Chains A and B, each alone.
Chain A
Amino acid sequence: MHPAPSVILFSVLSGLGFGMLAWLGIGKPPMTGMFAFVFFFIAYALSVGGLLSATFHLGNPKNSLKAFSQWRTSWLSREGCCAVAALMIMGIYAIGAIFFETHWVIIGGIGAILSIVTVFTTSMIYAQLKTVPRWNHWTTPVLFVSLSVFGGALMTGQVTVAMYGFVVVGLIQVIAWFTSDNRFASSGSTIETATGLGNIGKVRMFEPPHTGTNYLLKEMVYVIGRKHAAKLRLLAIILMVVIPVLMLGMGAQHGVKAIVAVFSHLVGVFASRWLFFAEAEHVVGLYYGKRG
C-alpha cells in the first residue's frame, strides 16, 4: 500500500495525542492551572493536528461532515465520531483542570475511555480489510492501542509505566512483524483464485490492461523500498523502544534524557508506521502478477 505521508503523520501524531489525553483524563499527572494547560495544549496539538493532516488525504474534503453519518457500519465513520466526542469531553475536563483547579473524575474517565476507543477505531479501519492480509489480524489493533497508551505515558512523564510498557510494545511489534510475513501466502488468494483459471494450469500475467500506471498501481501495488525492510525494522525497533527504555531506565524525568527518549520514540514510530503501509500487500496485485 502507498505510504501516504498525510496518513502516516495523522495516525502517529493523533495516536500519541489521544494516548496523552487518556492519561490526563485519569488525572496523571495530577496537574492544574498553567501546568495542566501546557499538557493539554500538547495533547490537543497532536491529536487535532493529526486529524487535520488526515483531511489532506481526501480527494473531496468538502463533504467531510457527512462522514459522521455511517457509524453503524463504517470504522472510518466511527473513528470520526469517537474522535470528536473524545475531544469535546476532554475539553470540558481540561477547563475544570485549568481554570477551576478541579478534576472532574467521571468526565475525565469517560474522556479517557473515548480517547483509547478512538485509537482502536483507527486501527480497525486497517484491521478489517480482508483484502490486505498483513493488516487483517488482531496484532493491528493491539499494536496501535499499546503504542498510543505507552507513548502517552511517556509524554505525560509516567517514567516507570512507559519503561515497562515499551518493552511490551516492542514485543508486540516483533510478533506483528514476524506473524505477518507469511499471511498473504497463507490467506489462500493466488493469481489462480483471482482469475478462476487455476484448474487449467499455472497462470501468469501476459499483458497488463494498460501500458502506463494507474490509481490502483500507485495506491495498492506499491513496491518501492521493500528491499530495505529488514534494516528499517531494526532501526524502527531501536528508535521506538530500545533507546527510550534505556533513557527511562537512567531516570529520564526531565532534561536531555527525556527529550532524547521522546524524539527517538517518535521517529521510531514513524518508521514503524511507514513500514506498516509500505510492506502491506493488497490482493489486487494478483491481477497484475505482482504477488508471490
Chain B
Amino acid sequence: MTALPPKSDVKLGLVIDLDTCVGCHACVVSCKGWNTENYGAPLSDQDAYGENPSGTFLNRVHSYEVQPEQGAAQTIHFPKSCLHCEDAPCVTVCPTGASYKRAEDGIVLVNEDACIGCGLCAWACPYGARELDQAAGVMKKCTLCVDRIYNENLPEEDREPACVRTCPAGARHFGDLGDAESDVSKLVQERGGMDLMPELGTKPVNKYLPPRPKDQGNEIDILAPLLAPIATETSGFLGWLDRTLEKI
C-alpha cells in the first residue's frame, strides 16, 4: 500500500559523520557487494569494462569543497543513500504499491514483484537515492540491509548494514532514531545532527553530523621554506640525460 503507515515509534536509520568520513568509498563497494547478491534483482553494470561504464549503486560518496569566509577551504566527503524519510514522497507517488514504508521500523522498500519501472518514485526523491536498474527494469534503493539486521544466521556483530560494518573510519552509525535514549540519538543530540534539504518537508530519518570546527589554516608550516623548489633548470648528470633524450 503506498499510503504512508501511521507514525512508527521505531525509526531505524543511519547517522553519518561528515567529520570522520575519509571518502574511501569502502561503504559503496560493500553495499554493492552485499546487495547485488541478496534482496531482489542484482545491481547490474553496463559496459563495465568498456569506455563508458555505468551501473546501479545504492550508496554513493560525493566530495565537496567548502570555502569559509576566512581561512582555508575544507574538503568534505559526503556519503549519500536513502534517508528512509518519515514523509517519503517516493512512497505516495507509486501507482502499484510497490514502493512502501514499513510500519514496524520505518524502512522504505521496493517490492520488485509489483514494480512497473515507471521511475516516478525516483523523480519524487530529492536526494537521488533511487536508481532504476537498467537490466532488471525495476527500482533499486537502500534497504538498510533489512536482510542483515534481523538475520539470525549471521554472527551478532554482522547484524548491521554492510556499509556500517565496513567503514574503516567509524563514520557510519546504525540504530533506532525513534528512541531518544539510543546511542545514535545521543550522538545526533551531542553533535547537532542535521537533515538534508529540510525545506522539502520529507523529514529524513538519517542524520548527518556536521564537520567539527577546523583551525584556520593560516600558519604555514615551519618546514615549508625547505620544500621550495631549488633548481628550475636541470644541470649535471640529469641535465645531460634530459638534453640527450631530447635529441633522440
Chain A interface residues (CB < 8 Å from chain B) = 1, 57-64, 66-70, 72-77, 80, 125, 128-132, 187-189, 191, 193-197, 199-210, 212-216, 219-220, 282-284, 287-288
Report the minimal beta-carbon distance from A269 to chain B, rounded to whole angstroms. 22
List chain A residues, Cβ under 8 A from B12.
Answer: none
Query: How would residues 30 to 68 of chain B score, 1 for a CB under 8 Å from any chain A CB and 0 otherwise?
Result: 000000000000000000000011111100111111111
Give complex CA distance A220, B127 in Å: 11
Report the minimal beta-carbon distance from A129 to chain B, rounded to whole angstroms. 6
List chain B residues, Cβ under 8 A from A72.
Answer: 3
Report the minimal beta-carbon distance from A207 to chain B, rounded to whole angstroms. 4
Give complex CA distance A205, B64 in Å: 5
Report the minimal beta-carbon distance from B71 to chain A, rounded to whole angstroms. 9
B126 within 8 Å of A by Cβ?
Answer: yes
| Given A201-B69, A206-B65, A215-B134: A63 and B116 interface contact (C-beta under 8 Å) | yes
Main secondary structure of the interface of B (DSSP, over half): loop
Q: Report which residue of A191, A213, A214 has the largest number of chain B beta carbons within 10 angstroms of its beta carbon.
A: A214
8 contacts between A and B (CB under 8 A): A59-B136, A130-B89, A131-B125, A201-B73, A202-B66, A203-B65, A204-B67, A206-B75
B175 within 8 Å of A by Cβ?
Answer: no
Are B199 and A74 within 8 A (Cβ)?
A: no
Are A66 and B197 within 8 A (Cβ)?
A: no
| Given A204-B65, A220-B123: A66 and B93 interface contact (C-beta under 8 Å) | no
Q: A68-B95, A196-B208, A201-B68 are in contact. List 8 more A-B contacts (CB 8 A).
A: A59-B137, A66-B95, A70-B97, A75-B93, A131-B126, A189-B126, A201-B66, A205-B64
| Given A70-B97, A74-B94, A200-B66: A60 and B117 interface contact (C-beta under 8 Å) | yes
List chain B residues, Cβ under 8 A from A128.
Answer: 93
List chain B residues, Cβ under 8 A from A197.
Answer: 18, 64, 66, 76, 210-211
Residue of A nearest to B214 (CB): A200
Q: Report which residue of A1, A70, A191 has the largest number of chain B beta carbons within 10 angstroms of its beta carbon.
A: A70
Residue of A nearest to B123 (CB): A129
Picked from A1, A131, A282, A287, the residue with its CB within 8 Å of the CB of B80 is A287
List chain B residues, Cβ under 8 A from A58.
Answer: 116-118, 137
Residue of A nearest to B55 (CB): A214
Chain B interface residues (CB < 8 Å from chain A) = 1-3, 18, 28, 52-57, 60-69, 73-76, 78, 80, 89, 92-98, 113-120, 122-128, 131-134, 136-139, 194-201, 208, 210-211
Give complex CA distance A87, B170 in Å: 58
Residue of A nearest to B199 (CB): A188
Give complex CA distance A21, B92 in Å: 30
Are B118 and A57 within 8 A (Cβ)?
A: yes
List chain A residues, Cβ under 8 A from B196.
Answer: 193-196
Picked from A59, A205, A212, the residue with its CB within 8 Å of the CB of B54 is A212
Are B92 and A73 within 8 A (Cβ)?
A: yes
The 3 closest A-B pairs by CB, nearest first: A59-B117, A59-B137, A209-B60
Are A215 and B64 within 8 A (Cβ)?
A: no
Are B137 and A125 within 8 A (Cβ)?
A: no
Give complex CA distance A205, B80 in Å: 14
Report the minimal beta-carbon distance from A183 to chain B, rounded to whole angstroms. 14
Give complex CA distance A210, B53 in Å: 10
